[in-house]
Amino acid sequence: MAAKAVKIDYPKRHDGRGWEDLRKIEAKVGIIPRADGSAMFRIGHTVAYAAVYGPRDLHPKFMQNPETGILRCRYNMMPFSGHGERVRPGSSRRSQEISMLMSKALLPVLDLKEYPNSVVDVFIELPETDAGTRCAGITAAAMALADAGLLMKDLVTSLSMGHYNGRIMADIDGHEDCDVGISDIPIAYIPTMDKFSLLQLDGDVPKEDLLKLLTLAKKKAMDIYKVQQEALKAKFSGDGHNGKKVKA
């Protein structure tokens, strides 16, 4: 991808959003009936599907932990979901790192001690991407884990923040992500604990700006959190399973 230096000295972003505006978000729970729990999360043109299988038997045996079940995430971009050429199927170093970070982001809310020697598998697949993919994946995975009925202290919510020349932005998209001048800061946040479970930073950001940015991140994360909660409830409340209307 060619690096461009975009001058950001106009009042709005390239797509007309305000600095603190998120792209359009949408969430749906229960979209993969075969899975124990599943969810879809869309932010702008980034879509993540998450499917949870487990707790279930874990092979190979040497990976089993007799004190607790383990969480195993697998992040994968579908071959046609990248911005340029086709993405070769199979894992890459990037996808392995993201898979590991996603597990770490979700683990603090889970309690798997009831399931020793077992595994909870979370599969995240993206049919289309426009930056913020690991964040969309975490957001979808949290809903899918709740849908699977696991013990969870809270949902985990995630978004990608940006920084340019003292300017703080929420939810950077692909266009902004490509720009080398904009620093990319993906975060994941757990509201009831008021703590961050994912934090990465690429760029050059002074400390005061970082703290301001994280404060804004918390605020915007709550917008996504609300959508996650509504999507989970929509599967059950009023209507029957999967939104089918019931004549009560």
Partner 1 sequence: MSEDVINVKERDIVVPGEVVAEGMGFLPSKGLYREGAKIHAGRLGMISIEGKVIKLVPLTGAYVPKLNDKIICKIIDVLMTGWRVETRSPYSAVLGLKDATTEFIPRSADLTQYYGLGDYILCKVVTVTSQRLIDVTMKGPGLKKLKDGRLVEVNAYKVPRIIGKEGSMLLMIRNATGCSIDVGQNGWVWVAGPSPEQEIQAVAALKKVEEEAHLPGLTERMKVFLEELTGKQVEVPTVTSGGQMTASEEMAAPEPQQEQQREEYRERRPPHARHGGGRRFPPRNPGD
Partner 2 sequence: MSNEHIVKYITKGMRYDGRALDEYRPVSIELNVSHCAEGSARVKIGETEVIAGVKLSLEKPYPDTPAQGNLMINAELTPMSSPQFETGPPGEQAIELSRVIDRGIRESKAIDLTKLCVKEGEKVWSVMVDIVTVNDEGNLFDAGALAAIAALKSAVFPHVTEEGSVDYNKKTDKHVPMNQSPIAITVIKVGDRLLLDPSPAEEAALDARLTIALNDASMLCAMQKGGDMPLTLEEIGAMVDLATKQSKELRKKLG
Footprint of partner 1 (CB under 8 A): 36-37, 54-58, 66, 69, 109, 114-118, 146-155, 190-192, 228-229, 232-233, 236-237, 240-241, 244, 246-248
Check binding of 79 to partner 2 (CB under 8 A): yes
Q: Write out the two tokens for 189.
A: 């946040």
Min dist CB 171 to partner 2, Å, is 17
Residue with Cβ nearer partner 1 (4 or 56) = 56
Q: Which is nearer to partner 2, 129 or 139 (CB)?
A: 129
Closest approach of partner 1 to the CB of residue 243, in Å: 11
Tell the residue number behind the tokens 């979901």, with chain if given: 81
Show the CA angle centred on residue 224, arms to residues 223 and 225, nearest 5°.
90
The site partner of 33 among partner 2, partner 1, none (C-beta below 5 to 8 Å per kind) is partner 2
CB closer to partner 1, 112 vs 169:
112
From the list 89, 93, 237, 247, which residue makes contact with partner 2 (rule: CB under 8 A)? 89
- The residue (of 120 and 131) whose beta carbon lies closer to partner 1 is 120
CB of 99 to partner 2, least distance (A): 10
Of the pair 60, 84, the CB lying nearest partner 1 is at 60
Interface with partner 2 (CB under 8 A), residue from 55, 109, 121, 185: 121
Does position 82 interact with partner 2 (CB under 8 A)? The reply is yes
**Contact at 8 Å (CB) between 224 and 139?**
yes
Q: Interface residues with partner 2 (CB under 8 A)?
A: 31-35, 45, 47, 49, 51, 53, 56, 74, 76, 78-86, 89-90, 121, 123-125, 127-130
